[in-house]
């Protein structure tokens, strides 16, 4: 893990996640009745819970809108959920004003072009291993894991490690 990423992670107060391709593998599943389902990784969910327990706020910004994501955010206790919002930078600015935070205090994990303006603006902008190549080129770092396969957990642990809180977060379960 690079010292630059750890340095960027030290002052993070808000971690933001995209959904499709980040918290999921990016595939969309539609049933005959038109309903949709997604699969989420429990390791990612635990990582998000660990972040929140350490005092880091969390948010989801997704260009798509689905009840499945609302349910997942509620189950994890993620307080800031924005769905159906294509211009993620506008949402970021709204959220920063609401929480009285600066760009440098934000970490973002994304995978595709709509995520790129936020990735480039925040203090720690990362891409998942399965992200579009152009996004990977412009991110501060890239997870080893693919979206939906533990990438969010890796991102959460990086922030916790940077803040010297990973051992305490793990020890809470001993």
Residues whose CB is less than 8 angstroms from the CB of residue 142 and which lie 6 or more positions away in sequence, other chains included: 126, 127, 128, 129, 131, 136
Tokens encoding 40: 């989420």
**Residue 87 assigned as binding residue:** no
**Residue 25 assigned as binding residue:** no
- At residue 98, φ and ψ (nearest 5 deg) are -65, -40
Q: C-alpha dihedral over 107, 130, 154, 140, to 10 degrees? A: -40
**Residue 115 assigned as binding residue:** no
CA distance 22 to 125: 13
Q: Which residues carry a binding-site annotation?
A: 18, 20, 111
Q: Which residues carry a binding-site annotation for substrate?
A: 20
Q: Which residues carry a binding-site annotation for Mg(2+)?
A: 18, 111
């Amino acid at each position: 893990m690079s010292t630059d990423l750890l340095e960027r992670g030290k002052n993070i107060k808000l971690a933001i996640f995209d959904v499709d391709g980040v918290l999921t593998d990016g595939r969309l599943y539609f049933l005959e009745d038109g309903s949709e389902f997604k699969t989420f990784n429990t390791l990612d969910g635990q990582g998000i819970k660990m972040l929140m327990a350490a005092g880091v706020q969390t948010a989801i910004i997704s260009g798509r809108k689905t009840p499945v994501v609302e349910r997942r955010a509620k189950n994890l206790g993620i307080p800031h959920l924005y769905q159906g919002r294509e211009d993620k930078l506008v949402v970021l600015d709204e959220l920063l004003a609401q929480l009285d935070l600066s760009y440098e205090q934000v970490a973002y994990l994304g995978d595709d072009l709509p995520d790129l303006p936020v990735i480039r603006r925040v203090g720690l902008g990362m891409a998942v291993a399965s992200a579009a190549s152009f996004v990977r080129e412009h991110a501060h770092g890239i997870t080893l894991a693919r979206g939906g396969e533990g990438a969010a957990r890796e991102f959460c642990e990086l922030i916790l490690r940077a803040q010297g809180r990973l051992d305490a977060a793990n020890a809470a379960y001993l």
